[in-house]
Amino acid sequence: MSTDVPEPKAVPGGEQYEIKLTRVEVRKQRPEKGEGRFVMAFHNIIGVTGAAMFTNVMMLPDGKDDEQDYMRNLALQRFYDAFEISHEPGEDIELSEGVGNTTFVILKSVESEEYGDEDGYQNAISRYVRSE
């Protein structure tokens, strides 16, 4: 058995990939960053050996700024739709409903000294791709 396994790497940006939602949590910001709460989604890239897992952070609306809340709600709605998470008005949203589901996205590769691979890059969702 080989022990020379390479570290996972970010995939090239600008291309379409199938991703799987592997875990999702609601978290609070660190006190030094504010008082907000956010959804943190963990994803694997399907069919790409050695691709690094990546996260997608979506801030929850906080009622402080209508325009900002609109954009936050839009990001959450796109996420719910992509991973088939029920989000009917007035009903509780069960984020775990989407765990294990897959969708297609266009990924980007962004520099990140703190969270990047050994070359300093990590992937992020540029946009969801609708399959008709």
pLDDT (tens digit, 9 = 90+) per residue, 6-60?
A: 899 999 999 999 999 999 999 999 888 888 999 999 999 999 999 999 999 999 9
What's the total number of domains in the chain? 1
Q: Is 87 inside any structural domain?
A: yes
In a domain, 6, yes or no: no
Would you state the structure tokens that stand for residue 17, as one six-digit string?
A: 């990939």
* Residue 63 belongs to domain spanning: 15-127
Could you tell me which of 19, 46, 12 has the C-alpha nearest to residue 104? 19
Between CA 116 and CA 129 the distance in angstroms is 24
Task: Calculate the CA 119 to chain-centre distance.
Answer: 21
pLDDT tens figures, 68-122: 999 999 999 999 999 999 988 878 899 999 999 999 999 999 999 888 889 999 9
25 lies in a domain? yes
> Is residue 19 a part of any domain in this protein?
yes
Q: Is residue 121 part of a domain?
A: yes
Backbone dihedral region for residue 81 (phi beyond 0: left; psi -120 to 50: alpha; all else: beta): alpha
Which of 92, 56, 90 shows the shortest CA–CA distance to 76?
A: 56
Asked whether residue 68 is assigned to any structural domain, the reply reads: yes
* Residue 10 forms part of a structural domain: no
Contact between residue 29 and residue 35 where contact means Cβ atoms under 8 Å apart: yes
